[in-house]
Chain A
């Protein structure tokens, strides 16, 4: 494998990682601040993609679709919060798991009922079509660079919000010790709603951004959800910084693993079994990595909770 190919693969891994970060950021905030396991985060991502696809088809343009989809995704998130999630904040994690599972079932089916089962098509924005030549014969789509840029910008924005604003300070305090924050007279209910809505919007944003390159279909949130959980566990629950680094790490492991594993196996096995064994191991690589990291640092890379 040439260095050039390796670098391209690394870039691919980073871009995938950034997309994962957009999903994981909302999840870790909600889990960290509200101690709430939201399995329905995956369907919020899916909902964003579907809303983006519909609005883009309706208005004829990707950007209009994005601009319209975000507030609607936010609204959907808030509706869910008021109807279901609000009543679960003081319940144990397992109850939250079951209830959010119910939400997943409902929304996956609703999406199927409304939009049908066939995958949807979302056109790429005109401005970002085309690519730059990274390697002879390989174009890197400008749109993926845009995702990379958007992800980094969001990470920066989040850092700014969390570290430099008063609201951010409240969020950080809430992640460390929510009852104390409430005791200090902050309207914890409003804070929770804010965090939740923001998390839902982030997930929806990730969905819209992913739509032009990934297939928009019912159940698209499930794979992403599992990876997002892996990311926040590795990164440390409640830590946005941890989610960012962990997401990049997971993206790199996924991508580089897939490219390098079969070649690695070729050192031990004949070509055909090597490829299949390599592929099988590559699928497990992220989980093996997670287990290894947790064995060494059980609280994740940047744990937030103290005690």
Chain B
């Protein structure tokens, strides 16, 4: 029981800090935009961590799911529709649909091949978005207004937006955690260890993985809706393979196999980048080695840090 509390302590702390952040010096608009971006990417990272740690599916095309959600907002905005009751389901369905379609092909492979196929699909989405001249092509598209809830433009208030993002992040975490703990999740995790054994017991991993991939796509699509709202601007660069890479790195940094680790990884990436960027324009000279050191010394990623520290204390 104590380990369970200890395990949940860090993520709860982080979430509490995020909730209190507007009153702890992050109250200005630009700071909240930064945190909002971090939370949105954290949401996408959590969905990636769900399939990566939970099902062993390493996707290098996850940014495309975000992109589908964001572009759904764009297309509906261009048609004059901004009501959340329409936009959100469409975006989530579009992203999940893309995930199911591409997953149907990709999940037949594994390992490096899976990575490359998801990369391929991500690139296809990228080039398609760049050729949509009607929606700005690669110049991008500026939204006329943010998504409205019941007709009111609540999301235009920075504080409301902050808590909306936080709320969705928490919901994603809970959903993924619940799924992993369920029977569904157990099959997934067993298949990750050895699909041969799972098949021997009578389960075919393929449909489980496909469903998981679709769900992850849907969550990322929802994150995409929030991303479009955060900057009120959408461009194909959101779908570039480097952005998919960023998500992957956030998950790895946070600790593979830990959902809240993805949150930590996303926060670390966004906030450290911002902080170091102030110190010098050559901040990558510091950030690169920091990542290397994190890999070398933080086995289990950022999420494993408390355990590592406490373990060290117990020993010493």
Contact = CB atoms under 8 A, between A and B. Distances in A.
Contacts of A84: 292, 296
Interface range on chain A (Cβ under 8 Å from partner): 35 or more
Interface string A64-107: 00000000000000000000100110011011011101111111
A253 interface: no
Contacts of B113: 233, 294, 298-299
B109 A99 contact: no
A178 B285 CA distance: 34
B288 A298 contact: no
A102 B283 CA distance: 12
B282 A109 contact: yes
Interface in A266-307: 276-277, 280, 283-284, 287-288, 290-291, 294-295, 298-299
A229 B117 CA distance: 11
Interface stretch (B118-126, B167-175, B189-197, B220-228): B118-126
B87 interface: no
B158 to A, nearest CB: 31
B116 A103 contact: no
Contacts of B116: 229-230, 233, 290, 294
A241 to B, nearest CB: 18
Given A97-B248, A290-B120, A291-B117, A284 B289 contact: no
Contacts of A134: none
A197 B63 CA distance: 34
Q: How large is the interface on B (under 10, 10 to 19, 20 to 34, 35 or more residues)?
A: 35 or more
Contacts of B108: 295, 298
Nearest to B285: A109
Contacts of B117: 290-291, 294
Given A280-B127, A287-B120, A101 B256 contact: no
Given A91-B295, A291-B120, A298-B113, A102 B290 contact: yes
B109 A298 contact: yes
A184 interface: no
A225 to B, nearest CB: 10
A186 interface: no
Contacts of B58: 94
Interface string A135-172: 00000000000000000000000000000000000000
A105 B127 contact: no
B127 to A, nearest CB: 5
B20 interface: no
A258 to B, nearest CB: 13
A1 interface: no
* Main secondary structure on B side of the interface with A: helix
A230 B124 CA distance: 15
A102 B127 contact: no
Nearest to B124: A284
Nearest to B290: A102
B196 to A, nearest CB: 12
Interface in B99-122: 105, 108-109, 112-113, 116-117, 119-121
A5 interface: no
A110 interface: yes
A203 interface: no
A180 interface: no
Given A103-B292, A105-B291, A287-B123, A94 B256 contact: yes
B199 interface: no
A14 interface: no
A283 B127 contact: yes
A105 B128 contact: no
B285 A226 contact: no
Contacts of A19: none
A106 B289 contact: yes
B284 interface: yes
A222 B242 CA distance: 10
Contacts of A110: 285
Given A229-B116, A233-B112, A295-B105, A99 B291 contact: yes
B291 A98 contact: yes
Contacts of A290: 116-117, 120
Nearest to B109: A298
A86 B58 CA distance: 24
Contact of B287 (A105, A230, A233, A299): A105
B182 interface: no
Given A94-B252, A298-B113, A226 B241 contact: yes
A108 interface: yes
Contact of A101 (B105, B127, B128, B291): B291
8 contacts: A92-B256, A98-B249, A287-B119, A288-B124, A290-B120, A295-B105, A295-B108, A299-B113
Nearest first, the 10 A-B pairs at minimum CB distance are: A106-B288, A102-B291, A287-B120, A105-B288, A109-B284, A99-B295, A102-B292, A102-B288, A105-B284, A98-B252
